[in-house]
Amino acid sequence: MKQELEKHLKQKVVLDTHSSWVYIGVLEEVTDHCAVLSEVDVHDRKDTSTSKEIYIWQSTTSGVKANRQRTYVNLEYVTSFSLLDDVKKF
């Protein structure tokens, strides 16, 4: 996953995890163990009744609601990632 992530440096990405957390932000760096994001919306899906997909889609229309300047996400917890621009409207 590290090599694939590195292709998207300086772009807005969505990191899905096997926990209830989702991360939306600008990919700044990828190390052997973590993805470093800036201007990050760190969101616990348990905190809202909105589905993960609706929440992410809303970020494409209303903008990323950054609540962290910088976040380090352990790659062991990342199950998938996509560019925010690749989120389809529905």
Nearest C-alpha neighbor of 73 from the set 47, 40, 49, 51: 40
Residue 58 pLDDT > 90, yes or no?
Answer: no
| Per-residue pLDDT reduced to its tens digit, 60-74 | 888 899 999 999 999
Three-point CA angle 8, 38, 51, nearest 5°: 80
The percentage of residues in the chain with a pLDDT greater than 90, rounded to a whole number, is 69
Residue 42 pLDDT > 90, yes or no?
Answer: yes
* Residues 13 and 82 sit within 8 Å (Cβ to Cβ): yes
Structurally, at CATH architecture level, domain 2-85 sits in Roll (2.30)
Cα separation, 76 vs 90, in Å, equals 30
Q: Tell me how far the alpha carbon of residue 37 is from its chain's centroid.
A: 8
Q: What is the pLDDT of residue 76?
A: 95
Domain ranges across the chain: 2-85
6: helix, strand or coil: helix
